[in-house]
Amino acid sequence: MRLGFVQANHGKAAPLKQMKAEDFIVVYSPKMKFQDKAPYKKFTAIARVREGEPYQADMGGGFMPYRRNVEFLPYEERDILPLIPQLSFIRNKKNWGYVFRFGFFQIPKRDFDIISNGMGP
């Protein structure tokens, strides 16, 4: 997070192009690290999109993901499990993790407020 950018959907440009300067992002982390098997299930960051367009970065091995510059805000991680009943973007409360398979997606402001109110400094 200290680098001030986000990548979405395995480095695809399309989701990042949907963002506008001053939009807010909340990051959900199903795992602590990409290759981990142990579940984490927390919202782990809040950021505000900065001016500018998505750009590509060379991560080596031919991987050139798109990134978007953001300003990460002070936050505390927040467990998703107690929030599931309140979040309208999670329609199937039993199989709640399915919605996150889409990667980047827009959520209603009310849901963002529910999540972010518990993450503030």
Cross-strand pairs, 48: 24, 71
Q: Quick: pLDDT tens for 88-106.
A: 999 999 999 999 988 889 9
CA angle centred on 14, ends 113 and 90, rounded to 5° = 35
**Domain locations in the chain as residue ranges:** 5-117
Class of domain 5-117: alpha beta
Per-residue pLDDT, 115: 96
pTM to 2 decimal places:
0.86
Q: Quick: pLDDT tens for 38-54.
A: 999 999 999 999 999 99
User: Taking residues 15-28, what's their average pLDDT?
Assistant: 95
Per-residue pLDDT, 2: 67
Cross-strand pairs, 39: 31
Per-residue pLDDT, 120: 72
How far apart, in whole angstroms, are the C-alpha atoms of residue 105 and residue 18?
10
Number of other CB atoms surrounding residue 116 within 10 Å: 16
